Amino acid sequence: MLRPLTPAELSRAEERLLHPAPGSRIEGAKNHGIDLTLLVEQLRLTPAERAKKLELASTALEQVRGAARKRY
């Protein structure tokens, strides 16, 4: 069962993502242009909220695909 992060877990995750250790994989991702603040934003949501956002994005994408198919 998925559960929201506890405040302590969220705090640790935010710290690691926003202030990565030198030489870490997280720092490498940041140096390659990954916007780690987007990960923090997602971690602040509950699993249900993340699933709902994914569902909404998927629905929007299908609508765009449908419009493109009708056009061509």
- pLDDT tens for each residue of 25-67: 999 999 999 999 999 999 999 999 999 999 999 999 999 888 7
- Residue 56 falls within a domain, yes or no? yes
- Residue 62 falls within a domain, yes or no? yes
The span from the CA of 2 to the CA of 13, in Å, is 17
What pLDDT score was predicted for residue 55? 97
- Residue 2 falls within a domain, yes or no? no
- Residue 1 falls within a domain, yes or no? no
Q: Which domain holds residue 48?
A: 7-71
Residue with tokens 């949501």: 45
- pLDDT tens for each residue of 4-29: 899 999 999 999 999 999 999 999 99
What pLDDT score was predicted for residue 46? 93
Q: Can you spell out the DSSP letters for the chain? A: ---PPPHHHHHHHHHHHHSPPTTSHHHHHHHTT--HHHHHHHHTS-HHHHHHHHHHHHHHHHHHHHHHHHH-
- Residue 53 falls within a domain, yes or no? yes
Count of structural domains within the chain? 1
